[in-house]
Structure 1
Amino acid sequence: MDTTASNPQGGAATGAQASPVSKIAQQLQALKASKEGLSSAEAATRLTQYGPNTIEEKSESKWHKLLAYFWGPLPFLIEAAAVISALRRDWPDFGVVTGLLAYNAVVGFWQDNKAANALAALKKGLAPHARVLRDANWVSIEAAGLAPGDIVSVAAGQIVPADIILIEGDYLSCDQAALTGESLPVSKKIGDDAYAGSIAKQGSMTGLVTATGAQTFFGRTAKLIGAAGAASHSQRAVTQVGDFLLVLAFLLGLILVVAQGYREVVAPHDWDWSRIGGILQYVLVLLIASIPVALPAVMSVTMAIGAYALSLHKAIVAKLSAIEELAGVDVLCSDKTGTLTQNKLTVEKPIPFGASTPEDVLFCAALATQRSSEDAIDLAVLAALKTPASLDGLVQKEFSPFDPVTKRTLATVVDRSGAVRHYAKGAPQAISALAAPDEQTLKRYQGEVAELAAKGERALGVARSDDGAHWVIVGLISLMDPPRPDAAATIAEAQKLGLNVKMVTGDDVAIGNQIAGRLGLGAHLLVAGDVFPEGAKAEALPRSVLEAVERADGFGRVFPEHKYEIVKALQAAGHIVAMTGDGVNDAPALKQADCGIAVSGATDAARGAAALILTAPGLSTIINAIRVSRQIFERIESYIYYRIAMTLDIMVTVVASIVLLDFQPVTAIMIVALALLDDIPIMTIAYDNAPDAPKPVRWNMPRIFTFASLMGTLSLAQTFGLLLIGTRWLIDAHLQAIMPLDPNQLQTVVFLQLAVGGHLLLFSVRTKSLLIFPAYPSPKLFWAIVATQIVAVLLCLFGFGVEAIPGRAIAGVWAYCLIWLVLADLVKLAYWRHVDRHERAMLTRRANLAA
């Protein structure tokens, strides 16, 4: 890849084709600097001009974050209900409403606050100190004090303190995988750029600081993190539910006020304030009952319990919204290095030449290696040696480490008999130049190297010599960062769950295609720079490019800006996107994604930007997390169906009976009691045995409102039908002879029917199949509702807050509700079968159009 970086602070950028000397000269001129470094006075001036070599952290106070949970349409509704309760001096209702509001805020704030600040994590990655040439003397200063134009020294084991161009020294190997995604350390030479935050693994060189702080490659990544972020789909869904119920409540309340106002105030011509106050009081109580005060709390509790369940599967939820987002994910963008692969270079196979054997190739390569080396290639060679003891007794008399000029290592070895031999390993072209083989051998050698390159494997040449002057090619070694053992099975399982998995890697497309093919991802990877040229924005890309992004199996040669734009492009195309990663380079995309997933061993920056953090190696944890998240989604959706349907039932029943029958079906106390009986035990839905959907699920608000309204209409017919029977009962002497019933007792009957019918409705809407089939309600949900119904029966039987009714009436209400439950369950089954047929027909039409 091209490691030439632009110079945002120093002016003109230098091209990749410029010679190292001219490139350095241009940078020195642009920065008005010299190889003698800066003076303290000049450095102070530049620090004032460019700012400190740190990443600006814009933090939000915790108080502001907490107060944000009390701001928004649904919190406003709940707060309005609390104010109404306080004005009416209804303190029990006030306590319940404010308690639910506070609980929702505390749970959400506590869960979201567990996420580490990504910018703070990025700051930790910067080198705390740097060795710099100031006033013609080498001194150690805090890295924050560096300025463009400074001369710094970087040695093995140190973090590069700023973006630099290397101007002196022999060799430097930098591990920049966390920045660019490259799986191997990158060899640097004079004229190359080194990025802030990368780690020097070998060598020592001097560099000119070209960019500091937010203008570094590292800092631009931090800027992307600050700009990234997608709104939660669940937040939008809750807002729409609240808006729907608010509009419904307002319209019905207005009808009730007009009707009752005319009937009790205008028509009698003797109105007084007490009558108006009574009407308004009842309407306000009805509005309180219609507002889904428990909805945020139910969602928070369900997600919090789901977060605990995910933690048992080695997945830590940093943001509660991640659970719901993960359920709807249909595209999984997976980083390659360390995520799909082991981030550990291994020998694929040795290719012997001449009379050599595969074991000879590895043995000679091991002799050209220092056994104490920490280099990734050296470690791979030594690990592949079948008999490490074969190196015992052999002494390396001389050793020349790898450098970017010769591109090879040389070792002079004395064997057990005292004979001296020479061994070399390195870049294939360097070894062939050293050995100068015959034309036939060279042709085969170059063909093998080309074949390995086509497969995305890295070739390492090996040679030996008896006298140090005449060399013979021993063979080639193919190296690769292999896939994780469970990666292929995990990807196959993800595809079964309806996910389109795309590889996103900083490595070359050839390497990505090779790994993708082995994992079953397909080998249609695109070069990210070709899809997203410099300055291109995902939202401005033509439809043809967005479609190409959708069709691609992945992307190679990816920089942080590309990952961020890939996620945004997929979101612009209507997808819910999850992004996995482990490095600083992944952090912006992790934050922008609907569900960013930091894999095991991820950097602090990646974990801070992610919504879900995996603590176990491998990707199989993601599959468990997806299944659990889909179950959680089903639980929340079931509650919303129930809540909308019951609000329709109660509101329309009350308004219609008052307007049409001039009868108040339930009292204000009954409405408050229904709110408590309905919503407090419903919290246990968080433990329900919900099925996990076979494909991604997302908020389909038109369908939710349609189905909930259908169930609400059935519930309304059930309640209003019982009310009509009751009003007939009040005036029919034969029915009164069977069981006497007065208007107050009829209110109790309606109250009991609403309590019983509501919870039976929940049992129906929680699954798309008939009630007699799994998944059955969880014990916690079932017994919580049973306990609630026992309370309701006792209230009605003994007359606590309501007029007492006989046991025969209670039994009759239960029988009536059970009959309607069977009818509602059949209607529900017919509805979902119709939806399934419609979806299959739509898929068939799309397939025909595509063909």
Structure 2
Amino acid sequence: MTADAVAKEAGVTLFTKSPGLSSQAAAELLAQIGPNEISTSKPKPLIFQLLAYFVQPLIAILLIAAVISGVSGDWLNAAIIIVIVLGSIGLDFYQTRRSQVAAESLRSQVAPTATAKRDGVWSELPRSALVPGDLIRLTAGMLVPADAQLLTAADLHVQQSALTGESMPVEKTASLSSSAALDNSTPENPADASNLVFMGSSVVSGRAEALVSATGARTTFGGIVTSLARRAPETEFERGMKSFSLFIVQIVLFLTLFVFAVNTLHKRDPLQSLLFAVALAVGLTPEFLPMITTITLSNGASRMAKKKVIVKNLSSIQNFGQMDTLCSDKTGTLTGGVMTLAGRLNPAGAPSERVFMLAYLNSLFETGITNPLNTAILDTTVSGIKGADPLDQAILNADHPDVQLYRKQDEMPFDFERRRASVVVTKAGESGHLMLTKGAPESVLAVCTTYEHSGEGEHSSEDEQNAGALPLDAAAQARISVVYQGFSAQGLRVIAVARRDILEADQQPAYQASDEHDLTLVGFVTFLDPPLPDAREVLDELRAKGVAVKILTGDNELVARHVCEAVGLDVGRVVLGSELAAMTDTALLQVAEANTVFARVAPAQKNRIILALKARKHVVGYMGDGINDAPSLHTADVGVSVAGATDIARDAADIILLEPGLRVLLSGILEGRRAYGNVMKYLLMGTSSNFGNMFSMAGASVFLPFLPMLPTQILVNNFLYDLAQITIPSDNVDDAFIQKPHHWDIGLIRRFMFWIGPISSVYDFLTFYVLLRIFHAREAEFHTGWFIESLATQTLVIFVIRTFGNPLKSRPSRPLALAATLVVLVGALLPFTPLSGLLGFVPLPPLYFVFLIGATLTYLGLVELVKRRLFGQVMG
């Protein structure tokens, strides 16, 4: 609802000629629309938030398995499953709480009080008491307390980079007449609104009166908070886990019902048949998946912490590994966010030390408003004298010219109507005054009548001192315009510098803006927020590793193009926010896919681009550092920010870089791929081998006169097998695997299950034949022989599945090799221990172990052949 509509409902008409609201009208409106606070919907009670996790398919299966394991007497396995489930739920619960923390942090960033006119009197009010229709006063240094439309403005300059991504403060002007009604239509991008101010921005200079048009959650700032409070869109990690869980549910239900039905038809004991069917389900369920995932990701987080990368959300490491598209804001990520003096040039575009000297003097003695370009000039020996002006600071950063002989006489401060600033100085030993003017090229040229000329091309300082002044006629203006516009097209910010000698007879005790006339153009100084030193190199590495980089910035298209080309991005077409505003979501799918750079985009438009890329099945990371980046950090599969970012961005991000630059980001991507590789080993090993063994059990129960393995034996087998897999997080990952992103592929898991599983079953049935026909095994011998064979094959197959290449050339980690070997030895020795009677095992003849070794080796060889075919489809 617009402010005008809300006000009308409360009986208030918003006209700019209004002297403000009465206390009574404001109180009525406040009671109707609520306080000017960034509040979100009340979260559900914690108990309901926790219960929601227990209805997830995989969690539900694990809990059912734990309950039945406990009923069947296997309390150890039940306890392990429950601990793992609770740990997994705790991690997910933490992620949800993160969103609420981010929203609370946002609310703390706005102004606590405001100056408003009530009952015809200006007074300080709590910010929360403001309502649409209030007349507020803004002065330099204030935070804007609500979205408002300007009624009057004098030299008003607002820093809204946190909302728009613009690196420079922007001028605001009043565009309403004294009798016009409030027009509270807000453009999609706050950067396009010259007569509106927004909650959360700050006043750099000037003063204004404004009419509040939106408060609380209806503000642009409030919209960002609301988006952070909502649950983030599903990430690739979450989608993969959900798909895998549903797949396992289907297989488990089918096998359980099938086995129970077969045993019932054979008129076996119903309770024993039910326990056997449930034991099969537990055997097929990857109950250690949450633990394996958590340990793997925690190891990766520890390694990243040593590289000054803080991981707030463990699952984001795996999303890192699957990420194939990185969207990034420009400032602070590709660039350092600090203005640097790029060039000092005469009117012809040739290098000039003279123009720098005069610009330096102007910046040194100017006391105007905060300006990033002045900071770039000033930050050298006098760093800290000015401090506030980034452009002046950049000039002073560049060199240390000798200025001790100069003294300031007067100045004409910068204002946004003239768009220039002048100082008047004297030099020791000289009687005249020197006026030095610096500002926007169009504004400075407007008061120039001549320009300095010292021939074409480069020249010496002596040539510059002897430079002559030529008339600034139309032809000269055209040539000079081409020069500075060419620099602007390169993404540089251009400031013109001019001078005028004031003879002793024309000197004045004080100077005014009207004295800026008949100046001589000396040249230009240009500025750049340069790319970080390693940006190009790392972007090349990201590209080589299969990660496409897209730039989403609120800055203008010229600056965006220049920076992106400087770091080696293939820019092509620059898509503007104004184009996105008129574009349907369907059209955006193609545009987001095909283009690299998006400029002048609003926070909501960044979100649309990320959602479009996710809809195209990309795994998207976003890197940003401002308030305007928070929704995108929240929406992306993995959000990355930097230590110097706003609190909001850090809270919304999953990863925090303690040092600027993309190299640590690349390290995170590689760690994520290693984590994903090890998790996939567990899934492929567990689903394929377990499915084979469970399928064998189901098949054997059809023709055997007894159960192929006792429920307790199945659970012991499964427990030992899982112990071997706990060391998978420590395993090495092939270099070839981490060279490109890999997404969750349920099809690959399904193919492994239905190819490798039957191979396992073939060897199981071969074992059945050998036990029954050759060794004439009775029930206990059969249980023991198959227990050892199934444990050996499904455990040792990890050495084949763990690598896409030749297992003889890819070395496993020492913990994995030891654990797998020891588990098989323990399983083979159990029948010869005092526990054999308790478990229903009996000793087997030595000849059986000869068969076991041969069967296991040929099984691993056959799996290797099939694996190469299946993995070849993935790596190809």
For the criterion TM > 0.5, the same-fold answer is yes
Q: Deviations over 1:215-258 (max 9, x none)?
A: 22212223333457321333333333333333333333333333
CA–CA separation in structure 2 for the residues paired with 1:101 and 1:771: 33
Determine which of 482, 505, 517 is the counterpart of 1:447: 482
Determine which of 695, 698, 713 is the counterpart of 2:743: 698
Determine which of 432, 444, 461 is the counterpart of 1:431: 444
1:523 maps to which residue?
A: 571
8 Å CA contact retained: 1:128, 1:143: yes
Deviation at 1:288, TM superposition (A): 2.4
CA–CA separation in structure 2 for the residues paired with 1:153 and 1:362: 40
Determine which of 169, 191, 199 is the counterpart of 1:196: 199
Q: Does 1:184 align with 2:168?
A: yes
Determine which of 353, 359, 364 is the counterpart of 2:353: 359
Q: Counterparts in 2 of 1:198-213, with a 5 A limit?
A: 198-213=201-216
Q: Deviations over 1:437-473 (max 9, x none)?
A: 3214322221112212222222111111112553111
Structure 1 window deviating more from structure 2 (619-628 vs 308-317): it is 308-317
1:408 maps to which residue?
A: 420
2:681 maps to which residue?
A: 638
2:187 maps to which residue?
A: none
Determine which of 634, 642, 649 is the counterpart of 1:591: 634
Amino acid at match of 2:593: E
CA–CA separation in structure 2 for the residues paired with 1:587 and 1:435: 46
Deviation at 1:782, TM superposition (A): 2.2
Closer/same/farther in 2, CA of residues 62 and 680 from structure 1, 3 Å limit: farther
Q: Does 1:292 align with 2:290?
A: no
2:773 maps to which residue?
A: 728
Deviation at 1:116, TM superposition (A): 6.4
Determine which of 758, 779, 782 is the counterpart of 2:794: 758
8 Å CA contact retained: 2:116, 2:135: yes
Amino acid at match of 1:220: G
2:27 maps to which residue?
A: 44
1:132 maps to which residue?
A: 116
2:149 maps to which residue?
A: 165
Q: 2:524 is paired with a residue of what secondary structure?
A: strand
Q: 1:644 is paired with a residue of what secondary structure?
A: helix
1:465 maps to which residue?
A: 500
Deviation at 1:828, TM superposition (A): 1.4
Amino acid at match of 1:601: G
Q: Deviations over 1:714-770 (max 9, x none)?
A: 222222212211111233xxxxxxxxx654133212111122211211121111112
CA–CA separation in structure 2 for the residues paired with 1:336 and 1:228: 26
Determine which of 853, 859, 864 is the counterpart of 1:820: 859
CA–CA separation in structure 2 for the residues paired with 1:556 and 1:515: 12
Deviation at 1:663, TM superposition (A): 4.4
CA–CA separation in structure 1 for the residues paired with 2:563 and 2:489: 12
CA–CA separation in structure 1 for the residues paired with 2:589 and 2:265: 60
Determine which of 695, 713, 722 is the counterpart of 1:652: 695
Determine which of 307, 321, 325 is the counterpart of 1:313: 307
Determine which of 214, 235, 240 is the counterpart of 2:238: 235
Q: Deviations over 1:286-313 (max 9, x none)?
A: 2222222222332233223323333233
Amino acid at match of 2:395: A
Q: Does 1:379 align with 2:370?
A: no
Closer/same/farther in 2, CA of residues 489 and 307 from structure 1, 3 Å limit: same
Amino acid at match of 1:703: L
Deviation at 1:637, TM superposition (A): 0.9
2:815 maps to which residue?
A: 780
CA–CA separation in structure 1 for the residues paired with 2:220 and 2:257: 60
Deviation at 1:30, TM superposition (A): 6.2
Deviation at 1:811, TM superposition (A): 5.7
Deviation at 1:150, TM superposition (A): 2.1
The answer for unaligned runs of 5 or more in structure 2 is 176-194, 379-393, 451-471, 503-514
Determine which of 818, 827, 831 is the counterpart of 1:792: 827
Deviation at 1:61, TM superposition (A): 4.4
8 Å CA contact retained: 1:369, 1:409: no
8 Å CA contact retained: 1:183, 1:507: yes
1:708 maps to which residue?
A: 753
Q: Does 1:55 align with 2:38?
A: yes
CA–CA separation in structure 2 for the residues paired with 1:602 and 1:537: 32
Once the two structures are aligned, what percentage of the paired residues are identical? 29
CA RMSD for the aligned pairs?
Answer: 2.7
Closer/same/farther in 2, CA of residues 100 and 352 from structure 1, 3 Å limit: same
Deviation at 1:669, TM superposition (A): 1.5
Q: 2:775 is paired with a residue of what secondary structure?
A: helix
Deviation at 1:806, TM superposition (A): 4.9
Q: Aligned residues, how many?
A: 792
1:3 maps to which residue?
A: none
Determine which of 319, 328, 338 is the counterpart of 1:325: 319
8 Å CA contact retained: 1:730, 1:743: no
Determine which of 415, 418, 421 is the counterpart of 2:434: 421
Structure 1 window deviating more from structure 2 (579-588 vs 211-220): it is 211-220
Structure 1 window deviating more from structure 2 (349-358 vs 449-458): it is 349-358
Q: Deviations over 1:490-517 (max 9, x none)?
A: 2111111112211111122222111121
Structure 1 window deviating more from structure 2 (126-135 vs 746-755): it is 126-135
Closer/same/farther in 2, CA of residues 660 and 10 from structure 1, 3 Å limit: same
Q: 1:103 is paired with a residue of what secondary structure?
A: helix
2:273 maps to which residue?
A: 279
CA–CA separation in structure 2 for the residues paired with 1:728 and 1:742: 11
2:843 maps to which residue?
A: 805
Q: 2:333 is paired with a residue of what secondary structure?
A: helix
Closer/same/farther in 2, CA of residues 288 and 335 from structure 1, 3 Å limit: same
Closer/same/farther in 2, CA of residues 417 and 67 from structure 1, 3 Å limit: farther
Determine which of 774, 782, 785 is the counterpart of 1:749: 785
8 Å CA contact retained: 2:96, 2:231: no
CA–CA separation in structure 2 for the residues paired with 1:207 and 1:287: 68
Closer/same/farther in 2, CA of residues 311 and 357 from structure 1, 3 Å limit: closer
Closer/same/farther in 2, CA of residues 169 and 254 from structure 1, 3 Å limit: closer
Deviation at 1:667, TM superposition (A): 1.6
1:119 maps to which residue?
A: 103
CA–CA separation in structure 2 for the residues paired with 1:124 and 1:171: 28
8 Å CA contact retained: 2:98, 2:651: no
Amino acid at match of 1:580: M
Q: 2:527 is paired with a residue of what secondary structure?
A: strand
CA–CA separation in structure 2 for the residues paired with 1:399 and 1:643: 78
2:330 maps to which residue?
A: 336
Closer/same/farther in 2, CA of residues 588 and 228 from structure 1, 3 Å limit: farther
Closer/same/farther in 2, CA of residues 725 and 72 from structure 1, 3 Å limit: same
1:736 maps to which residue?
A: none
Q: Does 1:32 align with 2:28?
A: no
CA–CA separation in structure 2 for the residues paired with 1:250 and 1:715: 21
CA–CA separation in structure 1 for the residues paired with 2:605 and 2:523: 38
Deviation at 1:654, TM superposition (A): 1.3
Closer/same/farther in 2, CA of residues 572 and 355 from structure 1, 3 Å limit: closer
Closer/same/farther in 2, CA of residues 782 and 110 from structure 1, 3 Å limit: farther
Amino acid at match of 2:114: A
Q: Could you state the TM-score of these two structures normalised by the residue count of structure 2?
A: 0.85
Q: 2:345 is paired with a residue of what secondary structure?
A: strand
CA–CA separation in structure 1 for the residues paired with 2:415 and 2:614: 45
Amino acid at match of 2:232: G
Q: 1:168 is paired with a residue of what secondary structure?
A: strand
Q: Counterparts in 2 of 1:540-559, with a 5 A limit?
A: 541-542=586-587, 545-559=588-602
Amino acid at match of 1:771: P
Deviation at 1:405, TM superposition (A): 0.8
Amino acid at match of 2:859: W
Deviation at 1:673, TM superposition (A): 0.5
Deviation at 1:640, TM superposition (A): 0.6
Deviation at 1:772, TM superposition (A): 0.8
CA–CA separation in structure 1 for the residues paired with 2:534 and 2:783: 62
Q: 2:738 is paired with a residue of what secondary structure?
A: coil
Amino acid at match of 1:433: A
1:21 maps to which residue?
A: none
